[in-house]
Structure 1
Amino acid sequence: MRGGSFRAGLALAVSISPAAAQFDVYDNPSVLSLPTTLRATVRVPVTTTPEGPADTLTALYPRLAACWRPPADLEAAAITARFALRRDGSLQGTPRITFTRVPSRRRDALVAETLSSLARCTPARLTAGLGGAVAGRPIALRFVYPGPNQGDRP
């Protein structure tokens, strides 16, 4: 009998003690941090993209870059766009350009092409699992263009 009343008393103490069930954000600093940015570099223009919905990050990044085309008279260049996707693969908000490596006279054309290519390539076809994993997380996608005459050179 005594054991039964002890368990009942313990259950009562836990159920009426709200402090035991509360979570303090200062005990866990990761709650205060922003989501980890997903980062990738894609060499553009992308020549082949897999069929069907993307089910991994490795399959997603080339699909997001598949619509990118070099602006006229563009030499070697690199640009990074930061954006987020919704669960259905559509853009969440407006992408931001965070980095460019291009002559200043070609910067505006490169930025415009990169932003419009993301708009053309979205909504990206995603599996439900990948859509849930990337939804709302920042993505920093770096587009690297080796130049018109570089062929397969890195």
Structure 2
Amino acid sequence: MSLPQTLRGTVAVPLAHRPARAADTLAELYPVLAACWQPPAGLAGPVTGSDDVEITARLSLRRDGSLIGPPRITYAAGFADGQRRNLVRATLDALAGCTPARITPGLGRAIAGRPVALRFVYRPPA
């Protein structure tokens, strides 16, 4: 028996607009899941020599696009001390707001129960 392979995607956030139609491919799924993400109030620019703030959430979806259990934050970097809690909350709130994800039945069958690692990359304005 083998474990399902993690589906991985990276999205630059915030998105200019929400995707208009239901996702039918993995490439279309990641923006659908990230469309609700907004930077938390007071998020300062990146630290430690990076241009970006990054956070990765691991989650699984049902066939209908709803979450199977709560997402888990597996990585976060590029932010000032004391901002982790707000960044995590903003990310979890965004995933809650964008689920159930608008996906086609075919994509739902393909991804149901499989782990998804979604990396949000935010480049604050200069």
| TM-score after normalising by structure 2 | 0.89
The structure 2 residue matched to 1:120, chosen from 97, 118, 122, is 97
2:61 aligned to which of 79, 85, 88:
85
Q: CA deviation at 1:73?
A: 2.1
Residue matched to 1:41: 10
Q: CA deviation at 1:48?
A: 2.7
**Which residue does 2:125 correspond to in 1?**
148
RMSD value over aligned CA atoms?
A: 1.0
Superposition deviation, residue 53 in structure 1: 1.1
Deviates more, 1:69-78 or 1:38-47: 69-78
| Partner-residue secondary structure (3-state), 1:92 | coil
Paired with 1:53 and 1:97, the residues of 2 have a C-alpha distance of 25
Deviations 1:49-103 (A, max 9, x none): 3322110111110010000000112123100000000000001101000000022
Q: Provide the residue aligned with 2:35 in structure 1.
A: 66
Large movers: runs of 4+ above 2 Å: none
Q: Distance in 1 between matches of 2:12 and 2:2?
A: 31
CA distance in 2, matches of 1:148, 1:133: 37
Gaps of 5+ in 2: 47-52
Higher relative contact order, structure no. (Cα contacts within 8 Å, ≥ 6 residues apart):
2
Which of these two proteins has the greater Rg computed from alpha carbons? Answer: 1
Please identify which structure carries the higher helix content: 1
Aligned to 1:14: none
Residue type at the aligned position of 1:62: P
* Structure 2: distance between partners of 1:68 and 1:98: 17
Equivalent position amino acid for 1:147 in 2: P
**TM-score, length-scaled by structure 1:** 0.74
**Aligned residue pairs, count:** 118
Q: Output the CA distance in 2 between the equivalents of 1:63 and 1:148.
A: 23
